[in-house]
Structure 1
Amino acid sequence: MNAFDRYAPFIQDFIYSHDWESLRSIQVAAADAIFNTQDNVLLTASTASGKTEAAFFPILTEFWEKPPASVGALYIGPLKALINDQFVRLNDLCEEADIPVWHWHGDVSQSHKAKLIKKPSGILQITPESLEALLIHKHMAIPRMFCDLRYVVIDEVHSLMRGDRGGQTLCLIERLSRMAGVQPRRIGLSATIGDPERTGAFLSQGTGRDCVIPRFEEPRRVWRISMEHFYNSGPQAQQRGFESMGPQEAEVLASERIEAAAPTALPADTQGMRHSGQPTQEERRQRRKRAQGKATSGNRCTSSAPEGEVDIPRAAEQALLNPTDTAPDNADPGMGYIFEHTRGRKCLVFANSREEAEAVCSMLRSYCESRHEPDRFLIHHGNLSASLRETAEELMRDEEQAQTTVTTSTL
């Protein structure tokens, strides 16, 4: 029996209703590992590869066949925003099967939590910190809430290995298991990592179970990365100020030649570079002209991938970096670049602190005001009210919205 036939009917209907032509490799591999073993499972794959569905399709099938007498699966996520997003996704999946999905963190209402305590069932989504608070403040209710706990799903497990938070999370899971008298299987979801065996060993610590790490082929993807440098002080900032008062195109600020065993010709667009590494205005103009020419010709090119690989049409890469707006004349170079390249696009801007996120967002909003444009910038960090953060999350999930969110590590 293949994975699709093994799934519960409501999951098959979900797949059909969402026009899936086939299951992804990770979903097939996860179904085999979860259905046919009693081991822990580690699923590693790139972003947006279907890891959540891969883990929960088999779990929900089991719940549909044999409903748990308490919370049956505990989902642990590192961020409130991630839990909120997964709450929406799992609710959509579980609604037809009448399998409740609960979430528990500092922004969740007390009435929602009280309903769970009164009638524990289905799936509970929680952060490590909220799990610790639950064990401390509701310890008398733990045996009844989790007496039939079968699975613990840990999302972004690679992020928990970077510090003490990961060890603390495993301690909390073990403490919960002992209080409830259960031995749930652990399923870890992780981005692609270099040493999955070490992560699998970390995931299975203290369980007495082996860890299955499914191997499968992922389709190749193309990631386009652009790096720009902006200086607030030093000779580079002064030089830019002399050239223009407005935001400037990022430039090569230094050039170093490394001697090779045999002489090779330099690329054509570096032949006229001065020794200082600073191109002239004419050189910049020629460079932009050549880039536009490449982008135009790239639209006419087609690609044919080798057998077994995904055929990805060549994109006009330079067109992806072209400005879609114009910053005010007195704009900060870095903020001006962000302003000019985010209009009509869904973007995230990460800041190092809450204060910096507020300052960046305020500055970008002031540019909108000076240009008589509607505000297209959102803010997201831990000091904001839950309603403001959730509004930003909903707008970023909306495919028809093209807004930019300035955030800290909360997203």
Structure 2
Amino acid sequence: MGVYANTVSIIQFTITGNLPTSDEFQWFSQKLSARAFQSIENSSEELSEGWTQVDHPDNSVFDVPSAFWRDNYLVFSLRRDQRKIPAAVLKSHTAREEGMFLSQYPNLRRTPKKKREEIKELVQVRLMARCLPVPSTVDVVWDQKTGILTLFSLGSSAVERFEDIFRKGFEGLHPLAIHPFARARMLLDGQLLDKLEAANQANSDSAAALMRDNQWLGWDFMLWILQRGLNGEGEYSVCRAGHFSSGERFSAWIDDRIQLQGGSEDGGIQKVSVSGSQDNYLEAISAVKGGKKITSATIYLEKDENQWKLTLKGETFGLASLKCPQIRIERDRTVDEMSEREAAFFERMFLLEQGMQLFESLFKVFLQERLGDKWNDRLITIQQWLEGNQKIEAANM
């Protein structure tokens, strides 16, 4: 699912370090070219990884701006080609070679260990040359205006590989994932920021500690959305700068899928998943009442006639299956394919940024209440809501 897809999964980063103030194109071109993808199709190498063009994944040349630069965006892909020999195939061919070896030495009952290793290695090299590498790409959009880099993947392996090759390729720059606490820091200032720092439960400023020890942000945020949505409080105002004007109204609610997690009676971890559109989510509410925390939920954002749908990962704030409104690019026979793709890119980024503006506005409204004086009142409301729904559940049994 790349940048052009209607449904994407994304994680965002801020970039620390000093960027060039002049000759930007030349600098970025050199950095991307230094780690450009190299094909292994005509070799027996097992793995190759590097940057390629988004629109032409077989092209890893970054010698002109149109290859990777669109207004304030840098756009490129991380391509990984890997050969993999199926285990059954390797085992069969190795056994065949060992049989041929033993036929030459009838006094041996089995192949010596060192020879088995040698045969296996030779078979691997031979088979590797016959296997076609399987390609995979992950798109990257780096907004030079905001400094936000968006990686179009949530796979832990892809994220780790991206971070590693980015640090090596852009020496001196470091991508920092925007986890819940980091995003909260970005949205707040003044007294609310001071209160956020006072509520920080991490004992260090490392990303891992800030995520692990401040999971309450994701837990409380999703419970707050669920309770408000099911009690007719699903209307909010835009309060984050972006394409929409401040004060414009939008709706947000949780539906379709909720995942919860908590301790079980035997001391282990118990997970509960509630799926399907429901009116009151009695099962989820019962789990919350029993002490379980919402760790993931599908959130809908609606503005005018447009709707965004995403699955929020509470610990990381990675956005899975983010579905934006359908883009409408009218085809023109007088316009070439590249211009059409650029138009589709800008339309896609426009809708994605609108969705992120609504999401951050929703999160900011939550933070203002969570860190303000009205949170105790909200906790009382939530407790009453939980108890009221528990009585409904009991009555239906």
Q: TM-score range by the shorter chain?
A: under 0.3
TM-score by length of structure 2 reads 0.24
Would you tell me which structure has more strand in proportion to its own residues? Answer: 2
Tell me: higher relative CO, structure 1 or 2? Use CA pairs within 8 A at least 6 residues apart. 2
TM-score by length of structure 1 reads 0.23
